[in-house]
Amino acid sequence: MSGNGNAAATAEEDTPKMRVIRVGTRKSQLARIQTDSVVATLKALYPGLQFEIIAMSTTGDKILDTALSKIGEKSLFTKELEHALERNEVDLVVHSLKDLPTVLPPGFTIGAVCKRESPYDAVVFHPKFVGKTLETLPEKSVVGTSSLRRAAQLQRKFPHLEFRNIRGNLNTRLRKLDELQEFSAIILAAAGLQRMGWQNRVGQILHPEECMYAVGQGALGVEVRAKDQDILDLVGVLHDPETLLRCIAERSFLRHLEGGCSVPVAVHTAIKDGQLYLTGGVWSLNGAETMQDTMQTTIHVPVQHEDGPEDDPQLVGITARNIPRQPQLAAENLGISLATLLLNKGAKNILDVARQLNEAH
């Protein structure tokens, strides 16, 4: 008996241990679903690796009684996860790309921008208003949103409605809508509702002419240590070239405007016939003032890298060595050009006033 036991132990020791890749995520159900989808793709690509998911709470998850724009912290949903990356407790972190600031702390980079789902906003109505649209809701109906960007655009478009802050994860917000009699409808990202399997709750999709979306909305970003070449190579295959180029343009626009959660900035991008189109806008908090424009640049959506590696591969916090450099630079320059155009037209004044008003309230 004992001889067999020793043989089994020796066989076990001889079996090479599978390398374990630790993946950090927020604890919310949506964050877990998003992380699970990325891990499932990686598992299919790398059957020889093991993946362990480590969930943690972030500042943004803990402070639920204050509007996001008031907390004054750029990395609300990312800081704790970045600390874990820094301490080598995790190897990569999956985020909603719109939660990642356009300037990341030193030592970190976005190693993959995954294929974007719908970037649009969706309206979910209280059960008694099912079948309505924002336009047909009764006068003075209260609509919940945690976003200055949505509130500013929609106030301008639907002046008969009142917009009020609502916080919490998707489950919490839907419960507040259904159980409290405070809200007639709430605005949420369509991608989040799709990922949760709650498409049946969507009463209306807001198209760009009604409400342009947030920078990076609908896409997932994988954050890694900037010098961890091994992990960068591992996740780099997840880059979706079209999503990547659109999001570089969007993030570049926001970064050059110095926008963030505390000001209403929105975008719309499209790639068609070798052209990348970027529409961007800024709004005053009440939506009364706005400045928008559209620019385009020639781009050829790349399949894979043609050149050698660069010294500093990061563009707006993103590293994509396996994608040709030229289209990435064109996308970044498009964002800078559009932001410069709006700033020259007076967008800075609108943003400064919005920032001051938001801080004062």
Give 221-268 pLDDT, tens digit per residue.
999 999 999 999 999 999 999 999 999 999 999 999 986 657 899 999
Q: Which domain holds residue 160?
A: 121-205
One-letter identity of residue 330: A
pTM over 0.85: yes
The answer to the question of residue 15 being in a domain is no
The answer to the question of residue 297 being in a domain is yes
Confidence at 63, pLDDT banded by 50, 70, 90? very low
- The verdict on 157 and 200 lying in the same domain is yes
What is the spatial distance between Cα 77 and Cα 80, in angstroms, rounded to a whole number?
8
Mean of per-residue pLDDT scores for the chain: 88
Structure tokens at 145: 């949103």
Q: What is the DSSP letter of 22?
A: E
Q: What is the DSSP letter of 193?
A: H
Residues 268 and 208 sit within 8 Å (Cβ to Cβ):
yes
Pick from 9-18, 87-96, 185-194, 262-271: least confident: 9-18
- The verdict on 225 and 342 lying in the same domain is yes
Q: Is the dihedral of CA 111, 117, 118, 123 positive or negative?
A: negative
Residues 252 and 332 sit within 8 Å (Cβ to Cβ):
yes
- The verdict on 107 and 71 lying in the same domain is yes
**307: domain CATH number?**
3.30.160.40
What Å distances lie between residue 263 and 147, 226, 246, 347, CA to CA?
Answer: 9, 29, 21, 11
Q: Which residues of 78-90 are buried (b: 16+ CB within 10 A; e: fewer)?
A: bebbbebbeeeeb
Q: Which residues of 33-70 are buried (b: 16+ CB within 10 A; e: fewer)?
A: ebbbebbebbeeeeeeeebeeeebebebbeeeeebbbe
- The verdict on 221 and 319 lying in the same domain is yes
The per-residue pLDDT for 59 is: 53
What Å distances lie between residue 261 and 98, 147, 148, 271, 358, CA to CA?
Answer: 10, 8, 8, 26, 10
One-letter identity of residue 125: F
- The verdict on 193 and 337 lying in the same domain is no
Q: How many domains does the chain have?
A: 2
Active site residues: 99
Residues 150 and 276 sit within 8 Å (Cβ to Cβ):
no
Across 42-91, the runs of DSSP E, i.e. the strands, are 49-56
